[in-house]
Amino acid sequence: MSSELPAWLRQRLLAAGGSVPFVTYMGWVLHDPQHGAYGSGRLQIGPRGDFVTAPSLGADFAALVALQLVAWLEALPPSSPERLSLVETGPGEGQLALDLAEWIAAERPELAQRLELVLVEPNPGMAERQRLQLQTCPLPTRWSSFADLAAAPVTGVVLAHEVLDALAVERIVADGALWRRQRVTLHGDSLRLEPGEPLEPSQLAQLVPLGLAEPGPQRPSGWCSEWHPGLEPWLRDCGGALRCGQLLVIDYAQEAWRYYAPQRSNGTLLAYRAQQASADPLQEPGAWDLTAHLCLESLQLAAADSGWRPLGQCRQGQALLALGLAERLHRLQQQPELGLEQLLQRREALLRLVDPAALGDFRWLAFARGLEADNALPPLFAREPQNT
Instruction: Give the mean pLDDT of 280-291.
Output: 95
Q: Measured between alpha carbons, how far is residue 139 from residues 98, 180, 249, 299, 353 in Å?
A: 9, 48, 22, 31, 26
- Of the pLDDT bands very low, low, confident and very high (cuts 50, 70, 90), residue 387 is very low
Radius of gyration of the chain (CA): 22
Between 274 and 220, the more confident residue is: 220
CB 354 within 8 A of CB 360: yes
Instruction: Give the mean pLDDT of 367-388.
Output: 68
Instruction: Give the mean pLDDT of 18-29.
Output: 97
Position 86 pLDDT exceeds 60? yes
Q: What does pLDDT average to over the chain?
A: 91
Query: Is residue 381 classed as helix, strand or coil in its secondary structure?
Result: helix
Instruction: Give the mean pLDDT of 256-276.
Output: 94
pTM for this prediction? 0.93
Count the Cβ atoms, other than its own, within 10 Å of residue 334: 7
Position 386 pLDDT exceeds 80? no
Amino acid 336: pLDDT: 66
- Pick from 108, 98, 92: nearest CA to 138: 98
Amino acid 383: pLDDT: 46
The strand ranges marked E within the chain are 19-21, 84-89, 115-120, 141-144, 154-161, 170-174, 179-187, 190-198, 224-227, 242-251, 253-254, 270-273, 276-278, 289-291, 294-295, 309-315, 363-369
Amino acid 384: pLDDT: 40
The CA distance from 218 to 263, in Å, is 9
Query: Is residue 80 classed as helix, strand or coil in its secondary structure?
Result: coil
Query: Is residue 16 classed as helix, strand or coil in its secondary structure?
Result: coil
Q: Read off the pLDDT of residues 350-364 as tens digits, 9 standing for 90 and up.
A: 899 898 888 889 999
- Pick from 310, 156, 123, 120: nearest CA to 234: 120
> How many CA atoms lie within 13 Å of 292's alpha carbon, on the beta-carbon side?
30
Say what the alpha-carbon torsion angle 309, 110, 88, 95 is, to the nearest 10 degrees.
Answer: 140
Instruction: Give the mean pLDDT of 289-317.
Output: 96
Position 348 pLDDT exceeds 80? yes
The domains of the chain are located at 1-29+164-244+257-308
* Structural class in CATH, domain 1-29+164-244+257-308: alpha beta
> Which DSSP helix (H) or strand (E) runs through 349?
helix 340-354
- Residue 187's beta-bridge partner residues? 190
Which phi and psi (to 5°) does residue 282 adopt? -105, -5
The CA distance from 167 to 265, in Å, is 21
> How many CA atoms lie within 13 Å of 241's alpha carbon, on the beta-carbon side?
27
Q: Read off the pLDDT of residues 166-196 as tens digits, 9 standing for 90 and up.
A: 999 999 999 989 999 999 999 998 999 999 9
